[in-house]
Chains A and B, each alone.
Chain A
Amino acid sequence: MKIGFYPGCSLKGSSREYNESVIAIAKALDIELIEIKDWNCCGATAAHSMNEELSLSLPARILALAEAQGLKEVVVPCAACYNRLMVTQHELKDDTKREKVTDIIQMPYSGELKIINVLQMLESYAMDKIQEKVTKPFAHKVACYYGCLLVRPHKILQFDRVEDPQSMDSMIKLIGGTPVDWAFKTECCGAGFSVSRTDLVVRLSGNILQDAADRNAEAVIVACPMCQSNLDMRRGAINETLSKPIDIPVLFITQAIGLSLGISPKELGLERHFVTVKM
């Protein structure tokens, strides 16, 4: 199985353990990932907060490059990039916008590329294999945290249930874990305000962790580098605001699956986390 791959900037920098774990489990599940050549940043929140045309052109260049490379399907592990690419493809169905943007990027663009997130990739191509290859069941009680950008806007993404998504929960069950029933599955963690308004991120992410802890989760499982870093890297600041510190780790879904497949914690980048992972 060959599939296009858009890692995005955080997977090359502060969330490189997500990249490492995606690559490690893809290999174990016989999925060959082909990186889009010369890809650029999708522009994230910055571009669409400042200028609409820029916010469409940056992702359009990525999609056009993937098309030029002959890719039919691309997996995008970062929920924020996934959202931007999907929204752009949707917006460019409008002829006027498409003409304008293809003129800006100076590249042909058909809009035919299939864009999927990591959960969709596993759901479509690897569930049987995962079940077959589980050697060390991930026997833990965990809170599956989807965040906002993986499921919303539902009308465009058409992925999973918008208030109570299930895909990650099913994967956790498949590898031997138990997802807890909790209230913050899709509540926002504060997203890109980590640096500019740390105070708000600390409060929002603190609420999420508190609920996970109250339901006795042993870990929070995520599929977005922003969620991961807000809940993990900001833990020091979050704990300063809580009456009792929370020490539950935050794992990418690919790391949880990797562990169940018997891949070493080192290969999955588990020691890169701020909150120690002992699982």
Chain B
Amino acid sequence: MENINKVSGDILKHTGVDVSRCYQCGKCTAGCVLASEMNFPPSFLMRLLQTGTADNFERILRSNTIWLCLNCENCVGRCPMEIDIPKIMDYLREQSLNKKKLHPDAKPIVAFHKSFLDSIKKTGRLYEVGLIAGFKARTFRLTQDVKLAPKMYLNGKLNLMPEMIKDRKGLGQIFVKTIDNPKTKNK
């Protein structure tokens, strides 16, 4: 029984969302554009969380469901109980990442997020050329979008140099104190 309270209790503590309020009407799943791609759709995820077992929690952290969620917020918009599923998804992704339980489908997505954050960490802003280079290096998808780049360049959509903010030190500190801080992991 202790286990059961722990999983849903942790969700409540970290997200403020009470999973027991879901009554399985399925509206979230009906409106989710990627439900068919997911290992299990959002309403099923809610059901698994309600069981509160460690096994089911493990299943969730290892699923592609949490990584395929686009945070489009359609589910919460339609849920009769206003359950904030995208917020739960954020929490579950963070847990899955910190506990290194990533589903293979998560790899390119996480690689993209990491390249994105690397760019911000270095310059303060997103440098798209650097983002793509970082993504390609992480995923070995070296030839992806090679046809798009020249046209983007001709259309004036690519900056060859990053824009740097002035207070890069202050910005760097934000990373040091959050995502790069070992103490915030596994919390």
| A interface residue numbers (CB < 8 A to B) | 9-10, 12-16, 38-41, 43-55, 57-58, 61, 104-106, 148-149, 152-155, 162-163, 186-188, 190-193, 195-198, 200, 204, 233, 236, 269, 271-274
Tell me the bound Cα distance from A57 to B166 in angstroms.
Answer: 17
- Interface residue stretch chosen among B22-30, B39-47, B51-59, B149-157: B149-157
Counted as pairs of residues, one from A and one from B, with CB atoms less than 8 Å apart, the total is: 162
Q: A39 contacts which of B68, B165, B178 (Cβ < 8 Å)?
A: B165
Is B108 an interface residue, CB under 8 A from the partner? yes
Query: Contact between A40 and B145 (Cβ–Cβ < 8 Å)?
Result: no
| B interface residue numbers (CB < 8 A to A) | 33-34, 37, 68, 70-74, 76-77, 82, 84, 86, 90-91, 93-94, 97, 108-114, 116-117, 119-120, 124-128, 131-132, 135, 144-145, 147-148, 151-152, 155-159, 163, 165-167, 170-171, 173-175, 177-179, 184
Residues of B within 8 A of A57 (CB): 174, 177-178
Give B164 Cβ to nearest chain A Cβ, in Å: 10
User: Which of A48, A49, A61, A104 is the most central at the interface, judged by chain B CB atoms within 10 Å of its CB?
Assistant: A49
User: Which of A41, A187, A271 is the most central at the interface, judged by chain B CB atoms within 10 Å of its CB?
Assistant: A41
Query: Contact between A38 and B165 (Cβ–Cβ < 8 Å)?
Result: yes
Give A243 Cβ to nearest chain B Cβ, in Å: 21
Query: Of all chain A residues, which has the CB nearest B111?
Result: A196
Tell me the bound Cα distance from A155 to B178 in angstroms.
Answer: 27
Query: Contact between B124 and A49 (Cβ–Cβ < 8 Å)?
Result: no
Tell me the bound Cα distance from A61 to B76 in angstroms.
Answer: 28
Q: A13 contacts which of B76, B91, B124, B157 (Cβ < 8 Å)?
A: B157
Query: Contact between A195 and B167 (Cβ–Cβ < 8 Å)?
Result: no
Question: With contacts A40-B124, A272-B157 known, is A49 near B148, CB below 8 A?
Answer: no
Query: Contact between A152 and B109 (Cβ–Cβ < 8 Å)?
Result: no
Give B114 Cβ to nearest chain A Cβ, in Å: 8
Tell me the bound Cα distance from A61 to B168 in angstroms.
Answer: 12
Query: Of all chain B residues, which has the CB nearest A48?
Result: B90
Query: Contact between A152 and B108 (Cβ–Cβ < 8 Å)?
Result: no
Query: Contact between B76 and A153 (Cβ–Cβ < 8 Å)?
Result: yes
Give B51 Cβ to nearest chain A Cβ, in Å: 25
Query: Contact between B72 and A54 (Cβ–Cβ < 8 Å)?
Result: no
Query: Contact between A152 and B72 (Cβ–Cβ < 8 Å)?
Result: yes
Give A229 Cβ to nearest chain B Cβ, in Å: 9
Query: Of all chain B residues, which has the CB nearest A188?
Result: B72
Query: Contact between A196 and B74 (Cβ–Cβ < 8 Å)?
Result: no
Q: A106 contacts which of B34, B126, B128, B173 (Cβ < 8 Å)?
A: B173
Tell me the bound Cα distance from A104 to B109 in angstroms.
Answer: 27
Query: Contact between A52 and B157 (Cβ–Cβ < 8 Å)?
Result: no
Residues of B within 8 A of A16 (CB): 156-157
Tell me the bound Cα distance from A60 to B6 in angstroms.
Answer: 31
Question: With contacts A38-B166, A51-B178 known, is A187 near B97, CB below 8 A?
Answer: no
Q: B71 contacts which of A48, A51, A104 (Cβ < 8 Å)?
A: A48
Give B155 Cβ to nearest chain A Cβ, in Å: 4
Query: Of all chain A residues, which has the CB nearest B136?
Result: A195
Lowest 9 CB-CB distances: which A-B pairs, in order?
Answer: A152-B73, A188-B72, A9-B126, A46-B116, A196-B112, A46-B113, A54-B178, A148-B72, A51-B179
Tell me the bound Cα distance from A152 to B97 in angstroms.
Answer: 26
Tell me the bound Cα distance from A188 to B147 in angstroms.
Answer: 25
Residues of A within 8 A of B110 (CB): 50
Query: Contact between B111 and A200 (Cβ–Cβ < 8 Å)?
Result: no
Residues of B within 8 A of A10 (CB): 126
Q: A154 contacts which of B77, B131, B157, B163 (Cβ < 8 Å)?
A: B77
Tell me the bound Cα distance from A67 to B34 in angstroms.
Answer: 39
Give B91 Cβ to nearest chain A Cβ, in Å: 8
11 residue pairs A–B, Cβ–Cβ below 8 Å: A12-B125, A13-B126, A38-B165, A46-B114, A49-B109, A50-B113, A57-B177, A105-B170, A153-B77, A193-B109, A200-B68
Query: Contact between A49 and B113 (Cβ–Cβ < 8 Å)?
Result: yes
Give B97 Cβ to nearest chain A Cβ, in Å: 6
Residues of A within 8 A of B159 (CB): 12-13
Query: Contact between A204 and B33 (Cβ–Cβ < 8 Å)?
Result: yes
Query: Contact between B33 and A195 (Cβ–Cβ < 8 Å)?
Result: no
Residues of A within 8 A of B72 (CB): 148-149, 152, 188, 191
Query: Contact between A49 and B90 (Cβ–Cβ < 8 Å)?
Result: yes
